[in-house]
Structures are given as C-alpha cells and as structure tokens.
Chains A and B, each alone.
Chain A
Amino acid sequence: MARRRKATRRSLLAGLGAAAAGLSFGPLAGCAAKAPTGANGEEQKLNLYNWDTYTGKTTLADFKAATGVEVNMSLFATNDELFSKLKAGNPGFDVIVPSNEYVTRMRIANMLMPLDLAKIPNRINILPGFQNPDFDPGRRFSMPYTWLVLGIGYRRSKIQGVPDSWKWLMDSDRYKGRIGLFSEADDLIELAGKYLGHSVHDIPPEMIAQIAQMYIRQKPNIKIFHNDEGQDLLLSGDIDIVMEYNGDIAQVMLEDPDLDFVVPREGSIINSDCLCIPKGAPRPDNAHQFINFLLDGRNGAEIYKTIRYPTPNAAALALMPQSYRENRAIFPPPEAMARCEYARFEGLARAQLYDETLTRIFAS
C-alpha cells in the first residue's frame, strides 16, 4: 500500500522520509536503565512503532500519567519499512500501526499476536462499519486507528468545476502538464480499474494491459509521479490536480482555502491504519492497555484534533468540533464512500506483476 506521511512542515522532512531508515532509532535506543515493574508484572515501558505526527500532543504523557507506563516511540515512513523491520523477527516492538493490507500480509506471514478482546473493552466505541472488516474478520488481530480515502486534490481557481472523475487524471489532456499521480503501482492500477468500471480486486490481465496503455498514452500530460508529497506540490502551485489521500489534502486546505478534495464518482480505495501487537512483543499486557487507552473517546479526540485524519471511533467523533465533523475532505459524502473498497493483499505474484507494469509505463 502507498506510503504517506502525516507531516506538519513537510517539504524537508518528506525527503528525509526517503532515507527514513535513519529516522527510526530502533526500540532499544536510550533504554539502558531498566524501568520499574508494574502491577501486571511487566516492565513499565512500551515500544510503539508509528507513523510520523500520528499521536495527539499529550497522548503519550497522558498514558504515562494514567498507567505509569513510559512509551518509547519510533517512526516509520512506509508500510514496507515496517514490514521489512519485522520480517526477520520482532526487535522489541509492543504496538505497531500497519495499514489494512499489511495487517493481512503480516497475518499471513504469522507476524501478529491475536488480541485478547477482553482486555480491550473500549472496542465498543468503534463505529459499526469498522467492527468486522474483510481484512480482519472479527477484529482478532487489529483495532482501527484511522481511515483514509484516495481522491483528487485540486486548486479550485485553475480547474473547471469539480473534477469528480478519475478521467481528469488518467485519460484526458485538459489539464496537461499540471497533473500529479502517485508512483505506487497498486494504487495506480487498482484506481484505473475502478475508472474502467471494475472492482479494485482481481483485475484481469487483459485489463491490466489496457490500463498500462492508458497510462502510457496519458504520460505526456502528467507532470510528476509523486512519492506522496502531492499536497505540497499542490500547495506550492507546481501542479493543480493530484491523486492524494484526504487527510493530506485536509491539512493543506487549512493553509490555502483555494484547495479542495473530491472522491471521484467511479469510487476509490479506502485504507485503515490499525493498532496491532506483533508476535514476540515483550510487554503484551501493556500493549493491550495502550490500545484500549487510545480507543477511549476523550483520548481519541485529543489525537484526531491534532492529526486531522478521519476517525473510526464513535465516542471520539462525538467530542470533535463541527469544523472536523463537517469537513468534506475529512468525511466525504456517504454516497461517494459507498462506492469505495478496501484494497486487499492479493499475493506476491500480483504485487510483482503490478510493479513490472509500472516499470513498463515509466520506461516506454
């Protein structure tokens, strides 16, 4: 699944994300002194592996005040980075935040610990739509933290009307030289499948070839295939219409009222970032406590106030201001959301086919 950053002042940090291996210091940094033992017999400590700017300002301090457990947070920039870090064995993380597709991948690769639902009573706060997703039936391995939807971010003064179709990005020269697309193979191909009237799943090989042809035809009109800095390119005026996540565009909309976001009428891809406990977590009980803490309404509201991603938590949503609840970029209209699907992990062979298709598109 696509990488994205929840950056605040993005441009420079964004690039550092490219070298972000260096940004994660590993969970063992600076913990030579042993933390005291808590009532549950575990060390009063927790190693969290998270996206950048993805907690509230006081969340970790609040958790420490409530439980005495000190949270030590490391950051990753892409799901791939998270996956490769844990691939050879858990280096000591207690809680991780993969996206839905990677919940599946890690479950298949036997890298996740089943959750003890009795220790997470706050799961009743989760909105019904997120209680039983296809990628984790019955929520046995993951709890939802945020969700995101791909769509079109655009500059109103430069675009005619509302560009509510993928056509304007994929199959039209109207905005020649001002278009930005993701450089992620799966997003590009699955969304093009959506544009051609197919589901994002099980796209047949003929259609993949047709999609490749469409993008090759469109290439002269595309200014850049970006690495999830679409919101910055839009804000700086380098491009006027871009494929991006709603949360990213919602952040820059605060800075420039000329920007807007729409989920195209053909539908799109939803993602959900989830809280999971990796196999081999040294402090599973603290991890359950932490997940339960994040799912609490008040604690959740503190988080979403900062990060401005849509919440799957009903109790937190009820506490949020109107400017968040009624923001059409954060919460696109339900009729648009009804046509969206979760991306699904469809096996390594398909991931490699998509990658080769993208190489072909770039190279031709």
Chain B
Amino acid sequence: MEENWKRAKAVFAAMAGPPVFWLAAFFLVPLGIIWAYSFGENSSLTEIAINGTFANYVHAIQPLYLGIIVKSFWFAALTTALCLVVGFPVAIAITFAPEKTKAWLLLLIMLPFWTNLLIRTYALMAVLRTEGYINFALAFLWNSLGHLTAAFGHPLAAFTPLELLHNNFAVVFGLVYVQLPFMVLPLYAALDRLDRSLLEASLDLGAGHFTTFRRVVIPLATPGIISGIIVTLIPSVGAYLTPDLLGGPESLMIANVIERQFKTANNWPFGSALSFLLMYMTFIAIAVQAMVARNRRGAAR
C-alpha cells in the first residue's frame, strides 16, 4: 500500500509540476517585477532604479487617485448588482428548463466567449450611438406616431436622439453585458445542485413562492452568489477597454489611469504602485467579506 501511495505522490508531482512552473514563471515572477518597480523611480528615459522609495505610494494615495479608485469600485458594485438581479432569474430558468433546452440555453450563455471582447464592444457602439440602431428604431416609431397624430391635427415635435453612448450609462451597460455570463454560470452551478425536495417541502409546509425563494433558495445558493459576485466585481474594477471605448468625459476608471502611466506618461513605477494599491484594496475587501461571513455564521450557531 505504501508503495502505491509513494508512487501516487510522484504522479501528483509530475501532474502539478507544469502548472506550478507556469504560475511561477508567467504570473508570480512578472508580478514580483511590477511589485519591485513600485518601489523605484525613473533614473532615465529607459531605466528604472529600484531604491525602496515609498514616494509612488505616497503620490498614489492623493485624493485625486483615491477618488478614481472609489469611483471604479462604485461602477463595479453597480455592475455586479445589476448582473445579480438579471442573472438570478436566468440561472433559475436554466435550472428548471427541460434537459434538452438546458444544453441550448447554456450554449447561448457561452456563445459570447467565442467572440473577441473588442468586437463585441464595437458592436455595442454601433447599437448605442446617436446614429445607431436603437435611435434608428426609436426615430422610426416616433415618426410613425407623428404621422398618425398629424392626421388628427397634433403633429409631434422632431425626434431628438437619446444620448446612449459616451457616458456613465454606456459604461455600466457595457460592463453588465460583458460580465453577465460570469455571474450566471456560478449561480447555475449552485442552483443545479439544489435539492428539489426541499423546495417542495417548503411549499407543502405553507410557505409562499416568495418566502421559499427568500428563505430556502437564496441561502442554499449563497456560495454561488458569492463566487458570482467575486468573479464579476474584480474584473469590473479593473475594466479598461469598456470605459475607454464606451465612456465619456466623466467615465475615467482606475485602469485607464494605470494604462496611461505605462504608455504616454512613461512612469512605470507610479503605474506599478497604483496597480498594487488596487490589488491590496481588493484583497482587503475580500478578507473583510470573509470575516463578516464567518462572524455571521458564528452568531447564527
């Protein structure tokens, strides 16, 4: 038996080796370099001297940059909340769909991943812009209505297109559009495992549908909800492409500031410090969340 176990350990090492190497070489080491840069300064146009300075962090915690980070979290929180509200019914619908339909519905959720994010964002721009498809359709309806009312002697004013693109609305809309599948999939995974007899029991024992949903479904789906929130919130905080392409003058997010430090401003140390500040804040947020959840569980016991 011991032989076997030892061999299994060797197999385990052989299996784990490549991914661990991959993680170290292409994730931890580059991350470490960026971390080191965050304690450095530009010594010339092309060189960075790592001298242990905290100046970049001091610069980064100015109200100017903290404000942008807070705003990015706010955008991300709103996105996550909307994804949850929209995603939950979708996940429930998929869970209770017949087996055959279920496969198709899941495929539809995955389908966007087959297309590049950039292409999807450009497509969204074509839909939202002033001369885009939504305004096109609305103008058509409005003008048709106008012909009708004009026949009764009450012509309508000319159609003013809605401003849907290049503002905060467009950014949140775009983020929800991109992140929704990441919310639906963990929710579905949690709901699919749910024991149906519990729902039947709840209904039999006199709880209404809403109470059953609130007191039975949501608590059982909590792990799925939490992982859904995490995989939606974190990429949204660091969203870069969506605010860049869909946003307007008001929609600057922290990733856009970081990008500019690495490109136009040529200030890698400061960009690194901003990146790590954002990462620390995300870690703290997750840790606080985990602590609160543990306390609550402790209190309930």
Query: Which A residues contact B (CB, under 8 angstroms)?
Result: 11-12, 15-16, 18-19, 78, 80-81, 83-84, 87-88, 105, 108-109, 111, 177, 184-186, 219, 222-225, 227, 236-238, 348, 351-352, 354-356, 358-360, 362-363
In the complex, are the beta carbons of B248 and A223 less than 8 A apart? Answer: yes
* 18 A-B pairs with C-beta separation under 8 A: A15-B245, A80-B264, A80-B266, A84-B263, A88-B46, A185-B265, A223-B248, A224-B166, A225-B248, A227-B244, A238-B131, A238-B166, A348-B267, A351-B267, A358-B260, A362-B249, A363-B67, A363-B71
Q: Which of B45, B65, B248, B266 is close to A224, meaning CB atoms less than 8 Å apart? A: B248
Is B176 engaged at the interface, CB distance under 8 Å to the other chain? no
A23 CB → nearest B CB, Å: 12
> Which 4 interchain pairs have the tightest Cβ spacing?
A355-B265, A362-B252, A109-B45, A80-B263
In the complex, are the beta carbons of A352 and B130 less than 8 A apart? Answer: no
The DSSP consensus for interface residues of chain A is: helix
Q: With a CB–CB cut-off of 8 A, which chain A residues contact B131? A: 236-238
Is B15 engaged at the interface, CB distance under 8 Å to the other chain? no
Binary interface encoding of chain B residues 105-138 relative to chain A, with 1 for a CB under 8 A from any of its CBs, else 0: 0000000000000110110000001110000000
Is B4 engaged at the interface, CB distance under 8 Å to the other chain? no
In the complex, are the beta carbons of A359 and B68 less than 8 A apart? Answer: yes
In the complex, are the beta carbons of A18 and B241 less than 8 A apart? Answer: yes
In the complex, are the beta carbons of A359 and B244 less than 8 A apart? Answer: no
CA distance A102 to B45 in the complex (A): 11
A17 CB → nearest B CB, Å: 10
Is B197 engaged at the interface, CB distance under 8 Å to the other chain? no
Q: With a CB–CB cut-off of 8 A, which chain B residues contact A224? A: 166, 248-249
In the complex, are the beta carbons of B264 and A351 less than 8 A apart? Answer: yes
In the complex, are the beta carbons of A359 and B257 less than 8 A apart? Answer: yes
In the complex, are the beta carbons of B264 and A355 less than 8 A apart? Answer: yes
In the complex, are the beta carbons of A238 and B129 less than 8 A apart? Answer: yes
CB-nearest residue of chain B relative to A227? B244
What is the number of residues of chain B that contact chain A, defined by CB distance less than 8 Å? 35
Q: With a CB–CB cut-off of 8 A, which chain A residues contact B233? A: none
CA distance A352 to B248 in the complex (A): 23
CA distance A351 to B266 in the complex (A): 8
B196 CB → nearest A CB, Å: 45
CB-nearest residue of chain B relative to A12? B122
Q: With a CB–CB cut-off of 8 A, which chain A residues contact B270? A: 352
Q: With a CB–CB cut-off of 8 A, which chain B residues contact A354? A: 265
Is B179 engaged at the interface, CB distance under 8 Å to the other chain? no
In the complex, are the beta carbons of A15 and B121 less than 8 A apart? Answer: yes
In the complex, are the beta carbons of A359 and B64 less than 8 A apart? Answer: yes
Q: Which of A12, A88, A236, A358 is close to B129, meaning CB atoms less than 8 Å apart? A: A236
Q: Which of A109, A222, A359 is close to B252, meaning CB atoms less than 8 Å apart? A: A359
CA distance A18 to B240 in the complex (A): 11
Q: With a CB–CB cut-off of 8 A, which chain B residues contact A111? A: 46
CA distance A120 to B270 in the complex (A): 43
Residues from 232 to 252 in B contacting A, C-beta threshold 8 Å: 241, 244-245, 248-250, 252
CA distance A236 to B249 in the complex (A): 19
CB-nearest residue of chain B relative to A222? B249
Q: With a CB–CB cut-off of 8 A, which chain B residues contact A223? A: 166, 248
A106 CB → nearest B CB, Å: 8
In the complex, are the beta carbons of B166 and A16 less than 8 A apart? Answer: no
A-B contact count (CB 8 A): 89
Residues from 241 to 290 in B contacting A, C-beta threshold 8 Å: 241, 244-245, 248-250, 252, 257, 260-261, 263-267, 270
In the complex, are the beta carbons of A105 and B45 less than 8 A apart? Answer: yes
B161 CB → nearest A CB, Å: 10
Q: With a CB–CB cut-off of 8 A, which chain A residues contact B130? A: 237-238
In the complex, are the beta carbons of A352 and B267 less than 8 A apart? Answer: yes
Q: Which of A222, A236, A355, A362 is close to B261, meaning CB atoms less than 8 Å apart? A: A355
- Most chain B beta-carbon contacts within 10 A, residue among A18, A177, A360: A18
CB-nearest residue of chain B relative to A348? B42
Assuming A15-B245, A222-B249, A359-B257, what are 16 further A-B pairs, CB within 8 angstroms?
A: A18-B118, A18-B241, A80-B263, A80-B266, A84-B263, A87-B46, A109-B44, A186-B264, A219-B249, A238-B130, A238-B165, A352-B265, A352-B270, A358-B260, A359-B252, A363-B71
CB-nearest residue of chain A relative to B129? A238
Is B200 engaged at the interface, CB distance under 8 Å to the other chain? no
A304 CB → nearest B CB, Å: 29
CA distance A75 to B65 in the complex (A): 34
Binary interface encoding of chain B residues 53-64 relative to chain A, with 1 for a CB under 8 A from any of its CBs, else 0: 000000000001
CA distance A348 to B248 in the complex (A): 28
Binary interface encoding of chain B residues 217-236 relative to chain A, with 1 for a CB under 8 A from any of its CBs, else 0: 00000000000000000000
CA distance A238 to B42 in the complex (A): 40
Q: With a CB–CB cut-off of 8 A, which chain B residues contact A12? A: 119, 122
CA distance A87 to B44 in the complex (A): 11
CA distance A87 to B266 in the complex (A): 11
In the complex, are the beta carbons of B64 and A185 less than 8 A apart? Answer: no
CA distance A105 to B44 in the complex (A): 11
CB-nearest residue of chain B relative to A109? B45
Q: With a CB–CB cut-off of 8 A, which chain B residues contact A105? A: 45
Q: With a CB–CB cut-off of 8 A, which chain A residues contact B265? A: 185, 351-352, 354-355
Q: With a CB–CB cut-off of 8 A, which chain A residues contact B42? A: 348
Q: With a CB–CB cut-off of 8 A, which chain B residues contact A81? A: 263
CB-nearest residue of chain B relative to A355? B265
B270 CB → nearest A CB, Å: 7
Q: Which of B118, B250, B263 is close to A16, meaning CB atoms less than 8 Å apart? A: B118
Given A219-B249, A238-B131, also A15-B46 (CB < 8 A):
no
CB-nearest residue of chain B relative to A223? B166
CA distance A209 to B287 in the complex (A): 40
CB-nearest residue of chain B relative to A225? B249
Q: With a CB–CB cut-off of 8 A, which chain A residues contact B118? A: 15-16, 18-19
Q: With a CB–CB cut-off of 8 A, which chain A residues contact B122? A: 11-12, 15
A6 CB → nearest B CB, Å: 19
Q: With a CB–CB cut-off of 8 A, which chain B residues contact A237? A: 130-131
Q: With a CB–CB cut-off of 8 A, which chain B residues contact A225? A: 248-249
B126 CB → nearest A CB, Å: 8
CA distance A88 to B264 in the complex (A): 17
